[in-house]
A = this chain, B = another copy of it.
Amino acid sequence: MTDPVVPDIQRGWVLHAPGDLRLEELPVRRPDPDEVLVRVSAVGVCGTDKHLFHEGRDSSKVVTDPLVIGHEFGGRIVAVGKNIDPARIGQRVSVEPLMPNWGSREARMGRYNLDPDQLFCGNPGYDGGLQEYVPITADNAHPVPDGVSDSSAAMVEPISVALSGVDKAEVSLGGRVLITGAGPIGLFAAQLSIASGAGEVHVVEPRPSRQKAAAALGATVHPSLEEAPSDVDSLIECTGVAVVRHDGFFHVRPGGRVVFIGVGDQDANVPMLPVIEREVTLHGVMRYHFTWPRVIAMLAAHRIQTDSLVTAEIPFEDALREWTQPDPDEIKTIIRIE
């Protein structure tokens, strides 16, 4: 069931080698029986996209073949596979880029984000969102209501990362949370912590523009970790900086939690006094599972917002400059595909 206006050829940004990202003509793949075809409208740019561009790898995944990058995106369904209800054509959606193998042990255990053989849009093995048309498993194209903008639909992905961190941090009513780093993930984690009823949400961030953003969202801001309170229930670490990773543990109360989201060195130096004598636990965040419906519900109910974080929108044709001339004052840039 394909809408006749879907073209056979489209444009997409293809990564050929480190530093070699080109806008090219590509074929449009028609959806398989259980897929839909999404016309992309907005794509967010993430730190891992920058790793892919500069280093040709994202953690353990190495780019060997030409790859369309981009994993934060939404758009509109323009065609459906034969097993999918054609009424979905025209639906606005946010795309969950993670496609596990449902037969895997991890998926069967209820943690599909940990399947080592998962496919992921914009990672080696599956072309991502920086193209006009993306075919994707229908279940991964989550409907968004009218009140949620295209930019917000693209932001469900990073909000999902932050939500996974906040869930692991077990933020509770009246609790105290400390977040290190006020980039997009840290700012979403702050919003989600406040929305969870935390009594105090503290953010450590040295850059004034980001301090301002954090304060505007209702967090208490500290320029450095030393000035932040000790004895918080949970620390959500979003910088990846070695000394912050280490010293952060001393800011957590006995029985509290440290959650590492930020990517940094291959090893982290972890202090044993808080881990052993205070039983502070350490948790890492690998993407997300079952977050899209929750995040979309919160966006629809205006419990969290993306407006103050999306500080720039640029046209699709200009996407390259986000990699070659990034503006350090921007928090999140959205690439629009008209």
Q: Which residues of B contact A273 (CB under 8 A)?
A: 59-60, 266
| Known pairs A138-B103, A166-B173, A174-B298; A281 contacts B279 (CB<8 A) | no
Mask, A94-116, CB within 8 Å of B = 1, is: 00000000110111111111111
Q: Which residues of B contact A265 (CB under 8 A)?
A: 272
**Is A279 in contact with B286, judged by CB distance below 8 angstroms?**
yes
Of listed A112, A167, A246, A297, residue having the most chain B CB within 10 A: A297
Beyond A102-B139, A106-B254, A173-B196, 10 additional pairs, beta carbon < 8 A: A59-B277, A167-B173, A173-B195, A195-B197, A264-B272, A276-B284, A279-B284, A279-B285, A279-B286, A281-B281
Counting CB contacts under 8 A, is A82 at the interface?
no
Which chain A residues numbered 132 to 163 have a C-beta less than 8 Å away from chain B? 137-139, 163
Complex Cα–Cα for A67 and B285 (A): 46
Among B111, B112, B115, B277, which residue has its beta carbon within 8 angstroms of that of A60? B277
**Is B110 in contact with A289, judged by CB distance below 8 angstroms?**
yes
**Is A196 in contact with B196, judged by CB distance below 8 angstroms?**
yes
Q: Which residues of B contact A264 (CB under 8 A)?
A: 272
Complex Cα–Cα for A103 and B136 (A): 13
CB of A326 to closest CB in B, whole Å: 24
Mask, A284-297, CB within 8 Å of B = 1, is: 11100110011101
CB of A116 to closest CB in B, whole Å: 7
27 contacts between A and B (CB under 8 A): A103-B138, A105-B253, A108-B112, A108-B289, A109-B290, A110-B111, A110-B290, A114-B254, A114-B278, A173-B192, A173-B303, A174-B293, A174-B295, A174-B303, A197-B298, A199-B294, A200-B301, A246-B267, A263-B276, A266-B272, A270-B270, A270-B282, A275-B282, A275-B283, A275-B284, A276-B284, A277-B284
Q: Which residues of A contact B (CB under 8 A)?
A: 59-60, 102-103, 105-116, 137-139, 163, 166-167, 172-175, 192, 195-197, 199-200, 246, 253-255, 260, 263-273, 275-286, 289-290, 293-295, 297-298, 300-301, 303
**Is B289 in contact with A255, judged by CB distance below 8 angstroms?**
no
Tell me what chain A mostly uses at the interface: helix, strand, loop, or mixed.
mixed
**Is B196 in contact with A197, judged by CB distance below 8 angstroms?**
yes
